[in-house]
Chains A and B, each alone.
Chain A
C-alpha cells in the first residue's frame, strides 16, 4: 500500500503545482479526489475487478459452460475449490467451473450496472432539469408522464417486455435503464426547483441566455453532486435489480450468467453446506458495490463546488 500512497500523494503535489496557473473546477476536483484515500483504494479495487472480468478468463482452466459430469447433483460436494483440479472456485451445482462463471458473471453484471445507470442518469437528469426549469404547465405535463410511467408497476413492464420481445442482454439494459430514469428525473426536478430560484440563474434568465444553455450550463452542473451520489447508488442497485430479475427467472439466458444469478443459485444451496457456491460470487459482488460507493463519495466530496 505504501508505494501506492506515495505515488498518489506525488501526483496530487504535481497537480497542486499546476494549479498556480489558474485551475478549472474539474482539475480542482481531481486533486481533491486523489487526496481521499478510501476513494482511491476503491478505484484501484474497481480496476482490479474490471481486470478480473476482462482477463480472468485467460486463467480459467475450463470454459464457463463446460459441465463436469462427475461433479453434479449428488456428487456436488466433490466440487470444492481446489488448485489441483483447476476449479479454483469449485464448481456450481451443475458441475461447471465457478471461476470461469464468476469471471463471466462479473463482466455481465458490471456491464448491466454501468450501462443501465448511465442511461438512467443521463435521461433522468436532462428530463428532470428541463421539467423543473420550465415549471408550470410543462413541468405539470412532464411530471404527469413520469407519474403515469411510475404508476405502472415496473416488474410488470419488464416481465412483459422480456416476454414479448424475447430475452436478451440488450433488452435487459434497455428495460432497466428506462425504468430507473424515472427516479432520477424526480430527484433532478426537485433539486432544480430549488436551484432555479438562485440568483445566478435569475441573472442568466434576465440577460437572455437560451433556456437549453441555462439548463446545461447552470443547472446540470449544480445537480452533479446529487446526481453522482445517486448514480453510485444506482450502479449497485442495477446489479441487484438484475439479480431480482434472475430470481424471477427472467434474467440472462443460460449458459450466460451474472453475479446476481450466481448468488441466487448459491443462496439455494448454502443451507446444504456448499458455501463456496455463494461466497465467491458474493465476494465480487460486495467488493464491486463497496468500491462504487466509496468512489462515488469521493467524487461527491471532490466535485462539491461550494467547498471553495
Chain B
C-alpha cells in the first residue's frame, strides 16, 4: 500500500518534471540526470564584514561577491582563467599597458549594459580615501599607475591609471610590469559596481531591494548573522548554462551544530569539525572530502631584543622544533589530510619542489635524541629546566595542538610550558608587540607562488612577528624576485629556516568539508578554493 502510493507519487513527479522542462533535465555537458531541486545551501562560521565588491575582505564574503558580480575574468575548476566580462586582452611590449576587450552581451540585473566605465568607476571607488576600503591596498598590489598616491589622498581618484577607451575597451596602465596581473583580476576588489545605484543609495545599495549586480545571481534576501539568499539572474549572459536556482548561505557559528543540521539534510556543504574527519570519512566516504589548502601552521619564537634569553640560542630553538612529533599532530590530533611540515612553504604550491631538510628524513627517536643532546649542550636539563610561555588564540583545534606539543616538550625534554590562550584581538596585539615566548601562527597564500610564504622571513616584512633577521635570507629573497628560476634561492631560505629555527613549521593545511552526495561540479582542484555557484549542479539520486 505504502509502496504503491509512493510509486505513484514518484511517477507523477517524474511526469511533471519531464513534461515541464525536458531540456533542463539533463546536464548539457555530462548528460547526467539532474535533480528536481536545484538549490544549494552552505554553512559559514561568521557573518562577512561586507559584500560590497569594493569593501569585501574575507573569503566567505568573496564567495558571495563572485556569485553576485562578475569581473574581467573567472577561474575554471582547476584555477585557469576563463573569460568573464572580458573576452581577451592585449599587453604592450613593455608589459605596462593592458587593453581588455569586453563582451557585448554582459548586462546589469536592471538591464543596463556592463561597460568599461563601470570598471573604471569601481576601481577608482575601491582606491578612494572616501570609501576607505580595508582592501584598497589590493589596488596598490596590482601596481596600477598612481594607486599609492590616490590611496594616500595625494591625487584624485580620477588620476588612477585606468581608462575606458570606449564602452567595450578598458585600458589599464601599470607602474611596473607584473606577469601575474591577469590572475589578480578574479578577486572581488576588481569587480564592477553600478554607479547610478551606488550614488543613489549610498552604503544601503547592498540591500536586496537596491542592489544591481552583473553576476550569475542576484541578491534576494539578506539577514545578517542568519542567512543570505541569492537566486539565478535571468539577465546574466550565460544564464542558460546556470543550473543551480537558489544559493543560501547560512551563518552557523558552531561547527558541531552545523554538522547536525547537515546530517539532518538542511545543508549541502559544511565544515568537518576538528578531529572528526576519520570517523566521518569512514561513515560517509562519498561526502567527506579533504583537499590541500594553501596555508601553513607554525609556531614562532620571539627573537626581539629583550625577549627571553634562552630562546636566543638557535640550539634551544632547534631542540624544541625537533621534539615536536609532527606525525602525531597530523595523523592523530588532526587526522584530516594535513601533511607534516618541515618547510614553511606549503608542499602543494605551484612550481615549488620541497627541498630535502635533514630533519624530515630522520625518525622521531633520532630527532628526540638529537633534541635532548642539543638542549643539554645549551645547559638545560633536570637541574635547570627550561620554561616557556606558549600563546595561542582561542580555538579547539589550536588548543589541541598546543596541549599535544607542550606535552611532547615535557615528556621528551622536560620543558615546562605555560599555556596561554587569548581571544583574537588580544592575541594579535601580543604577537605584534612581541609579548610572547612562543606564539602560534598560520599563514595563507595570497597567490600561488612560494614567495607568498617565504617573504615573511624578510627582516623588513610587516608580517614577520618573530622579527627574524638574517641578511643572507633577505638577499636571497630579493634576488629571487627577479630571477627566472628562483627555486634554488627558496631551497636555501628553507635550509636557513631549518638551521636558525626562527619558526617551527608544524603542518600544511588541508580543507575538510562535507558535500551532499548529489552535489556535483565542485572545483576540488582549485588550490585557491575559488568556486562559483553557476558551475555547480545536483544530480538526481
Contact = CB atoms under 8 A, between A and B. Distances in A.
Interface of A: 65-67, 69-70, 72-76, 93-96, 159, 163, 167, 249-250, 253-255, 268, 271-272
A76 B399 CA distance: 16
Given A94-B403, A254-B403, A74 B421 contact: no
Interface string B399-424: 11011101110010000000111110
Contacts of B275: 73-74, 76, 93
A161 to B, nearest CB: 12
Contacts of B422: 163
B306 to A, nearest CB: 20
Nearest to A159: B423
A67 B407 contact: yes
Contacts of B400: 72-73, 93-94
A256 B220 CA distance: 48
B328 interface: yes
Complex A-B, nearest 7 residue pairs according to Cβ-Cβ distance, in ascending order: A249-B394, A67-B407, A74-B335, A74-B278, A73-B332, A254-B419, A73-B333
Nearest to A68: B407
B256 interface: yes
A255 B403 contact: yes
B273 interface: yes
Contact of B332 (A74, A167, A250): A74
20 contacts: A65-B403, A65-B407, A69-B325, A72-B332, A72-B400, A72-B404, A73-B334, A73-B400, A74-B331, A93-B400, A94-B403, A94-B404, A95-B404, A163-B422, A249-B423, A250-B394, A250-B423, A253-B419, A253-B421, A271-B259
B241 interface: no
B177 to A, nearest CB: 47
B404 A249 contact: no
B426 interface: yes
Nearest to B277: A74
A253 B417 CA distance: 12
Interface in B328-362: 328, 331-335
Contacts of A249: 394-395, 421, 423
Instruction: Assign chain B's interface to a size class.
Output: 20 to 34
A151 B259 CA distance: 37
B155 to A, nearest CB: 41
B276 interface: yes
A75 B419 contact: no
A75 B394 CA distance: 24
Contacts of A69: 325, 328, 332, 404, 407-408
Contacts of B259: 271
B201 interface: no
B12 interface: no
Nearest to A70: B332
A147 B259 CA distance: 42
B368 to A, nearest CB: 13
- The secondary structure that dominates the B interface is helix
A67 B423 contact: no
Contacts of A271: 256, 259-260
A250 B394 CA distance: 8
B89 interface: no
Interface in B61-90: none
A183 to B, nearest CB: 27
B273 A268 contact: yes
A59 B325 CA distance: 30
A271 B279 CA distance: 12
B396 interface: yes
Nearest to A92: B403
Interface in B261-315: 273, 275-276, 278-279
Contacts of B395: 249
Select the residue from A75, A249, A250 with max chain B CB neighbours within 10 A: A249
Given A73-B332, A74-B332, A250-B394, 17 more contacts: A65-B403, A65-B407, A66-B407, A67-B403, A67-B407, A67-B411, A69-B328, A69-B332, A72-B328, A93-B400, A94-B400, A96-B403, A159-B423, A249-B395, A254-B399, A254-B403, A255-B406
Nearest to B419: A254
B248 to A, nearest CB: 24
Interface string B473-512: 0000000000000000000000000000000000000000
A165 to B, nearest CB: 11
Nearest to A96: B403
A268 B423 contact: no
A26 B393 CA distance: 52
